[in-house]
């Protein structure tokens, strides 16, 4: 007996091939996973922003401390977080992201209570160190738990919603290094790592400079300063929610370049117009906040989603490297602004303008890194059945 396929083969007519299996429908639970991951990212970012806004009030509580000493309330968190993100990501890949995530969130909550109850500056800084350790466990696992739940076409949107939240010789020679050099063979991932470092230099310096302008040069209260910064995160939230559509329309590289340039335009606006006593805030300063918010909403989702180019077994590690760039850049950005302003508790406009020059330049460098984010895909003949793409071959 002959089958239709054997007849076709005998007649030289190619046999019909079965239709490819339809792509599996994404689980509805992905949005719940994203919500939990976003909440964790929000806590980690809020912890830095809130302390920036409260910086003058903390100084008032500890009047005997210098600005350099007070800056450790900010940097104890960001430096420890930056230092431990990669080891924490490696640990999460080894023991499981869910277990790491739950451990991190519990420790973060306990450390936050300790910060609120701290009787002195030393105790507060120590509690901030513990917070940094907890966040280092929490942050990389949140992204690595969320990304696999989404199909590739939705990942830019997912990361956008979340953001609306390294010894070289040793690494190269060690048989099992903490950071596998193979990560950086993906050029898009390398560009994202360097770009995020530069971007967060600008980000952290910008938000601290804004707070110092409001509470120092303009003499506003901490509450009013916090309200004045609000257009920034609101803009980030709106743009991040639309980031998936924007990336599909413009492409990853163009979106990253536009985002970096928009962010750089914010401090340029302040350089040209900000001054006086804040009576014309809506014209002098708020448009710059909107520009930086647009830049953040466009830039961060594209660069952080570069972790999705890595194999599943390296997602937490890759996320840790990117988050280390974020926290390292944030710590260095605060330190740079303190140096630029001379450590003054109430720096004058000239010192703040020098800080805005720094933020504009570092944001522009982030745009340059975005331009290096090559998204073309090369597939070897015969690989993947002659169709589809291999994200690790981005070049």
pLDDT at 285: 94
Element spanning 46, H or E? helix 29-53
Percent of the chain's residues with pLDDT above 90: 17
388 Cβ contact list (under 8 Å, min separation 6):
379
Q: What is the mean pLDDT of residues 3-11?
A: 46
User: Where does the pLDDT of residue 388 fall: very low under 50, low under 70, confident under 90, or very high at 90 and above?
Assistant: very low
Residues 174-228: tens digit of each pLDDT? 344 444 555 555 677 778 888 898 999 999 889 888 888 888 888 888 788 888 9
Q: What is the mean pLDDT of residues 79-100?
A: 73
User: Where does the pLDDT of residue 260 fall: very low under 50, low under 70, confident under 90, or very high at 90 and above?
Assistant: very high
pLDDT at 184: 53
- For the chain, the domains span 32-165+175-377
394, β-bridge pairs: 377
> Which position has the token pair 């906040």?
289
Residues 128-152: tens digit of each pLDDT? 889 888 887 877 677 667 666 677 6
Whole-number Å distance between alpha carbons of 122 and 119? 9
Q: What is the mean pLDDT of residues 11-31?
A: 52
pLDDT at 381: 31
For residue 295, is pLDDT > 70? yes
DSSP reduced 3-state for 353: helix
Supply the pTM of this predicted model: 0.59
Whole-number Å distance between alpha carbons of 212 and 321? 30
pLDDT at 183: 53
Task: Share the mean pLDDT of the chain.
Answer: 74
pLDDT at 301: 84
Q: What is the mean pLDDT of residues 28-38?
A: 72
For residue 394, is pLDDT > 70? no
Whole-number Å distance between alpha carbons of 377 and 6? 38
pLDDT at 265: 97
For residue 378, is pLDDT > 60? no
For residue 43, is pLDDT > 90? no
Of the given ranges (46-55, 76-85, 239-248, 363-372), which has the lowest mean pLDDT? 46-55
For residue 236, is pLDDT > 70? yes
For residue 156, is pLDDT > 70? no
216 Cβ contact list (under 8 Å, min separation 6):
56, 345, 346, 347
pLDDT at 32: 75
Whole-number Å distance between alpha carbons of 186 and 310? 8
> Which position has the token pair 């996320």?
319
377, β-bridge pairs: 394
> Which position has the token pair 């996973």?
33
Taking each helix axis from N to C terminus, what angle separates 315-340 and 67-95, rounded to the nearest 10 degrees? 170
Residues 297-347: tens digit of each pLDDT? 999 888 887 766 655 665 666 677 777 777 778 777 877 887 787 766 678
Residue 102 CB neighbours (<10 A): 14
Ramachandran angles phi, psi of 112, nearest 5°: -65, -40
For residue 392, is pLDDT > 50? no
Between these two residues, 345 and 268, which has the higher pLDDT value? 268
pLDDT at 298: 93
Q: What is the mean pLDDT of residues 375-392?
A: 33
**So what CATH class is 32-165+175-377?**
mainly alpha
C-alpha distances out from residue 228 to 146, 182, 195, Å: 32, 44, 28
Four-point Cα dihedral 226, 239, 391, 369, nearest 10: -60
Residue 172 CB neighbours (<10 A): 9
For residue 390, is pLDDT > 50? no
Q: What is the mean pLDDT of residues 72-96?
A: 74
Q: What is the mean pLDDT of residues 367-392?
A: 49
pLDDT at 135: 82
Percent of the chain's residues with pLDDT above 70: 68
pLDDT at 12: 46
pLDDT at 244: 83
């Amino acid at each position: 007996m002959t089958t239709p396929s054997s007849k076709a083969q005998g007649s030289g007519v190619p046999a019909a091939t079965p239709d490819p299996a339809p792509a599996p429908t994404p689980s509805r639970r992905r949005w719940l996973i994203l919500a939990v991951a976003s909440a964790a990212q929000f806590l980690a970012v809020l912890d830095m922003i809130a302390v920036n806004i409260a910086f003058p009030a903390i100084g008032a509580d500890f009047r005997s401390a210098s600005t350099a000493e007070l800056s450790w309330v900010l940097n104890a968190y960001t430096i420890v977080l930056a230092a431990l993100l990669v080891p924490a990501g490696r640990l999460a890949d080894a023991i499981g992201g869910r277990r790491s995530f739950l451990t991190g969130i519990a420790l973060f909550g306990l450390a936050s209570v300790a910060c609120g109850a701290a009787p002195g500056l030393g105790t507060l800084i120590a509690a901030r160190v513990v917070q940094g350790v907890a966040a280092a466990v929490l942050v990389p696992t949140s992204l690595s738990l969320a990304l696999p739940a989404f199909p590739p076409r939705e990942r830019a949107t997912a990361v956008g919603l979340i953001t609306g939240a390294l010894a070289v010789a040793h690494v190269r020679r060690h048989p099992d290094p903490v950071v596998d050099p193979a990560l950086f063979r993906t050029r898009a991932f390398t560009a994202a790592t360097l770009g995020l470092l530069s971007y967060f230099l600008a980000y952290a310096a910008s938000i601290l400079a804004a707070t110092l302008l409001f509470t120092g040069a303009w003499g506003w209260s901490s509450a009013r300063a916090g309200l004045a910064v609000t257009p920034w995160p609101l803009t980030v939230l709106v743009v991040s929610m639309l980031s998936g559509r924007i990336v599909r329309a413009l492409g990853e590289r163009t979106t990253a370049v536009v985002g970096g340039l928009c962010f750089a335009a914010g401090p340029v606006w302040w350089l040209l117009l900000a001054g006086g006593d804040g009576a014309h805030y809506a014209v002098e300063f708020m448009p710059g906040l909107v520009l930086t918010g647009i830049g953040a909403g466009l830039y961060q989702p594209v660069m952080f989603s570069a972790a999705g180019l890595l194999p599943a077994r390296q997602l937490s590690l890759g996320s840790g490297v990117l988050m280390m760039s974020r926290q390292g850049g944030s710590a260095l950005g605060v330190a740079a602004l303190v140096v630029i302003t001379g450590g003054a508790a109430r720096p004058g406009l000239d010192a703040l303008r020098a800080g805005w020059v720094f933020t504009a330049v570092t944001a522009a460098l982030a745009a340059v890194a975005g331009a290096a984010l090559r998204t073309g895909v090369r597939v070897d003949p015969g690989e993947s059945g002659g169709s589809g793409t291999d994200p690790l071959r981005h070049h």
